[in-house]
Structure 1
C-alpha cells in the first residue's frame, strides 16, 4: 500500500544550524499499542495503512515517506532557573512537516523515545510505556477540553525492557504539533548566532511568525513577541481555570505557538491550591500551580532577552510591563467562562477573590454551577462558602447549555490515571481505554460514570509524578 501523503522538511532545510540529521534506532519487536484514528483522519492519513507493517515502520522512524528528513532539533533552556545552553532532542526526532489539505498549514510529525541523538548527553534516548501512554491520554484530554496543545497520534511498544525505576516496557510516542519551536529554540539560535546583525535569530523569528502568527508583519519583532506572549497567556489561563499543573515549565517547554507541550510530570489538582505541585524533580515547588503565571512571565522575559537588540531594550521592557494587565485580562476571561457571565461582571472579581481561600475541587465546582443555574443555589453556597456571592451569581441570566459546554464532567483524575497506567503496563488496557473515552468526551451529557468523577479517595495518599526520561 502507498502511504498516500508526503512530508516536507522546511525547518530542516531553512535552519541547518539548528538541526542534526539523525535516524531512529531499530526496535526489536514494535507493536502498535494505540492509534488515534480521529486525529489520523483529521490529518488525512490512511488509518488502514498506518496499521500495516509499512505504516508501523513509518511510525517508528524506520522508513521515511517522500519528503521526510528526520532531524534532531537543537534548543537551549532554562531548567528550574538555570541555563542549559545545549539541550535539544535527546530522545526525539522531527520526521517532517505534513501539509493539511484544508488550510495548507504545516504540522510537525515528531517521535518521542526513538533512541539517542547527539543531544542525548549520556541518556538512552528511549521512552517507557507508562509515560508515553500518559502523554497520549493527557494531551488528548487537554485537546478535548479546548486547551491549545500538542497531540498524540500513536503509541508503539518497542519490545525492549528499559531501566527506569526498574525494568519497564519501552515505547515511543508519535506526536503532532503546530511546531516544536520553543523559547529555548530562540535562546539556542541567539547563542549560536555569530553575525552582528543576528541574521539567524531574525530568520527564525520570521519563520515562526509565518507559521504561527501571520497577522504580524514580517520584521515586526515587537508584534511577534506580543503575539507569543498573548497566546501563552491565554493557554496558561486555561490551565488555571481547569486546575492543571504542568510541572516542568522550563523555557524549552514554552512554545512559540502557545501550545501546551511535554506531559511528563503534569497533574490536575483535587483542590484549588496555589501550593500544589507533584513533580518528583521540582523539590522546591518552583512550578507549583499558583506559580505558573509568574513563571510564564519569567520565561517570556528570557525570550525578550534572546531577541535583543532585534527587539529594542526599551520596547522589550514596555512589553513586559504590560504582562500583569494582560494576565489579569486573561484570567478574568477564563473565570467568566466558568461562570457564564461577561468578564466585567462584578461576580467575576468576587469569584477570583474567594477561590484560593475556599480551595474547592474545580471540576466539582464547575458542575455545581451547571446544576445550580436552573435551581436554588443552596448547594453551591455550601461548596463555595459564600452564600451572598452564590445568590448574586444566581441572579444572572446564565445560559445553562453554554455553561455545561465549558465545565467538564470528566478530567484525568490523578488516582484514575495512576491506576489505569499501572494496569496498562501490566497488559490490561480496560481501565485506560475507559478513562480515555471519558476524558476525550469531557462534556458528555449522557449516562454519567460516577466512579470517574470527583477527587481521589482519602486513602490515595500523596501523589508524585515522574518525567519518565
Structure 2
C-alpha cells in the first residue's frame, strides 16, 4: 500500500484525525502533469478529483489507507507568540512513496474546519489556490527549494472573503509539513513531546544524526536548519521573491518555501518593497527577509534550549549568517555570468574575486535608485556590447549613472577569461525570460474564474522552464505598464 501515515508515530496531542469537508459537484481546474509523472501517482483523473475535492469515500480511494489529520503547532506571528495555531484550513491526507523511494506528504488545503480553525471556515478560494499553484512551480523552475502543487479543484460553492468567491481546494506536496512552530509548541508542552518530535525528525529527515545523543541530534538539526534557511532566503533575494508573511509557523524545517500568502516577484527593484498590505511596519519587506530568517532560526534555537547551551545556539546562528553571506554572493555572481550556474539543483559555488561584493552592492543601489525592472535587467545584460544594447539601456532612467559599473563588469568578465559568447550563454542560463509578476497571476485568475483554464495550463508549463526564450509569451517579456506594477496583496491571497 503506497499511502502511509508516519506522523501518527508522534504522541496523539500533536494532531487530531479530521476528515475534510467534501466539495460537492467539483471539477479539476489544474493538474501538474510533470509532478504527477515524477511521483508515479497512478490515480486516474476521477480518483485524483475525488482526492483533491475531499471525497475520500470514493470507491477508488477507499482502499488507500488515508487517515487525514490536522497538525498542532504554534508560532510567532509578526513577532508575537500565538499559542492557538494549527492546521486550521488543511489536513494531512497521508504520505505517498514515489518510485525513487522518496516519501511525500499529501496535504489538502482548503479542506474545511478543524479543531484549530478558531473562527474561520477552513476553506480556500480559487484565487489563492491558483496563486499558490503558480508560485510553487515558478520557484521550482527557478531552482528555489519549495513545496509543490499537484492539483486544484473547484465548484459552484461560494466562500465569503472580501467578496464572495468560488471555493477551491489545493493538493500540496512536500516531504514534511513540520514547521519551526511545531518545535515552539513541543518545547512548551513537555520533555516527552520535545524528545519525541526531535527523535521523529532525526529518524525521517536527518538520518545522519541517528544513534547520537539527544544533545548531538539537537545541534546537528539546528545547524542544518539554519544553513538550509540561509540558503533559501539567499535564493529568494537573488530571484527577487518577496514572501510576505515570514511567521515562524510558515517556516519549513527542510528550508523550503512554505505557505504562500501575499507573495510577489519584483517588477521594479525596490530594496524596501512590501507586498503585504497588512504589513504596515514593513516587518517582512524584501530588505528584511535575511534578518527575519535569522530571527526565526533564533526562535527554533530557543525551542531547543533544553539540549543546547547559549553558546551552542549562538554558533548555529552564526553559521546562518556565514552561509547566507556566502550563498547570496554566489547567487549574484551566477546572475552576472561570473560563475557557472549550478548543476541540477545544487547550490552555486563561486570563486570570489576582490571587488565582487562591491560590484553586487553597487548594482543593487543603482537599481533601487532608478527603480529598474529586476528580471529584465539581468536577462538583458546579455545584450551589453551588442546591437541590442539599446534595449538594455531603455530600462534605465539614467543610463550614464551605470557607465562605470558596466565598465567594471566587463573588466571582471575579461579577468575571468570568458568570451562574450560564453558569458552571454551564462546570463541566459541564469536569468529567466519570464517571471510570475503579480499582474500576470491576476490575469490567469480572472480567466479561470470565467471557466477558462488554458492560461493556467500554459503558464504552469512555461514557469517550469523559465530560462527558455518563450517567444509565445513575448508580450510578457516587456516592462509592465505603471498600472500593472507592484500590486499589494492581502493575507487572503
Q: TM exceeds 0.5?
A: yes
Q: 1:431 to 1:211 in 2, by over 3 A?
A: same
Match of 2:112 in 1: 115
Say if 2:30 and 2:457, in contact at 8 Å, map to a contact too. Answer: no
Match of residue 278, structure 2, among 254, 277, 281: 281
| Correspondence 1:14 to 2:38 | no
Match of 1:352 in 2: 360
After TM superposition, the structure 1 = structure 2 runs for residues 203-352 of structure 1, keeping only pairs within 5 Å, are 203-217=196-210, 218=212, 219=214, 220=216, 221-340=218-337, 341=339, 342-352=350-360
1:285, CA displacement in angstroms?
1.1
Match of 1:51 in 2: 45
Say if 1:8 and 1:67, in contact at 8 Å, map to a contact too. Answer: yes
CA distance in 2, matches of 1:346, 1:38: 42
Q: 1:216 to 1:376 in 2, by over 3 A?
A: farther
Match of residue 61, structure 1, among 54, 71, 85: 54
Say if 1:27 and 1:159, in contact at 8 Å, map to a contact too. Answer: no
CA distance in 2, matches of 1:267, 1:448: 23
Post-superposition Cα deviations, 1:329-348, rounded to whole Å, max 9, x if no partner, equal: 12112112212323412353
Match of 1:97 in 2: 95
1:157, CA displacement in angstroms?
0.3
Q: 1:397 to 1:429 in 2, by over 3 A?
A: farther
TM-score, normalised by the number of residues in structure 1: 0.91
CA distance in 1, matches of 2:64, 2:457: 34
Match of 1:164 in 2: 161
CA distance in 1, matches of 2:5, 2:426: 42
| Correspondence 1:176 to 2:173 | yes
Match of residue 441, structure 1, among 453, 461, 465: 465
CA distance in 2, matches of 1:168, 1:380: 41
1:97, CA displacement in angstroms?
1.1
CA distance in 1, matches of 2:169, 2:470: 34
TM-score, normalised by the number of residues in structure 2: 0.87
1:427, CA displacement in angstroms?
2.2
CA distance in 1, matches of 2:464, 2:444: 15
Q: 1:316 to 1:97 in 2, by over 3 A?
A: same
CA distance in 2, matches of 1:329, 1:424: 42
Structure 2 regions of 5+ residues with no counterpart?
340-349, 394-398
Q: 1:389 to 1:59 in 2, by over 3 A?
A: same
Say if 1:160 and 1:170, in contact at 8 Å, map to a contact too. Answer: yes
1:60, CA displacement in angstroms?
2.4
Name the SS for the 1:295 alignment partner.
helix
Q: 1:92 to 1:287 in 2, by over 3 A?
A: same
Q: 1:177 to 1:373 in 2, by over 3 A?
A: farther
Match of 2:381 in 1: 369
How many residues are treated as equivalent by the alignment? 457
1:66, CA displacement in angstroms?
2.5
1:374, CA displacement in angstroms?
7.7
Match of residue 141, structure 1, among 133, 138, 143: 138
Name the SS for the 1:255 alignment partner.
coil
Match of 2:409 in 1: 390
Say if 2:184 and 2:300, in contact at 8 Å, map to a contact too. Answer: yes
Q: 1:389 to 1:380 in 2, by over 3 A?
A: farther
Say if 1:347 and 1:392, in contact at 8 Å, map to a contact too. Answer: no
1:123, CA displacement in angstroms?
0.3
Name the SS for the 1:449 alignment partner.
helix
Name the SS for the 2:272 alignment partner.
coil
1:169, CA displacement in angstroms?
0.5
Q: 1:27 to 1:236 in 2, by over 3 A?
A: same
Structure 1 regions of 5+ residues with no counterpart?
none
Greater Cα offset, 30-39 or 455-464:
455-464
